Amino acid sequence: MNTGPRYARKVDTNHAELRGVIKDCAQAFPEMKIAWLDTSNLGGKMGDGVIQFWNVNWVTRQGTRFNTHLLEFKSGKKKKFTKSQKENPLELVRIDNRADIFCLLGQNDWELADG
């Protein structure tokens, strides 16, 4: 399978932090059954990772919709998608910071609640 041109695979400076936030969310919201696969080593069109989770009805604690997203981490608003990422027939969800992850999950950031 061709994932696009082969370039030196560099991860954005915030990659480890954002991956950690996703893993923390998986622990904090077990009802969502958050699954994460880091695909940053594949390069090309694939993006930095795949996330899957259930939107949860918090009254019944039941999953209401299953979601799968390809994520692309960027370490600044000025960073742009590469040509191969733009040409990807699948939508990449851009994640610049932890707030973007909480927005995608439909959850409140516990760090903001503390402040």
In a domain, 6, yes or no: no
Looking up residue 70, the CATH number of its domain turns out to be 3.40.1350
Percent of the chain at pLDDT > 70 equals 84
CA–CA gap between residue 75 and residue 82 (Å, rounded): 14
- For the chain, how many structural domains are there in total? 1
- Answer for the pair 72, 90: CB distance below 8 angstroms, yes or no: no
Does position 53 have pLDDT exceeding 90, yes or no?
yes
CB atoms closer than 10 angstroms to residue 60: 8
Q: Which domain holds residue 103?
A: 15-114
CA–CA gap between residue 115 and residue 101 (Å, rounded): 19
In a domain, 39, yes or no: yes
In a domain, 84, yes or no: yes
Does position 42 have pLDDT exceeding 60, yes or no?
yes
Name the pTM for this structure: 0.81
* Residue 20, burial from CB neighbour count under 10 angstroms (0-12, 13-18, 19+): exposed
In a domain, 46, yes or no: yes
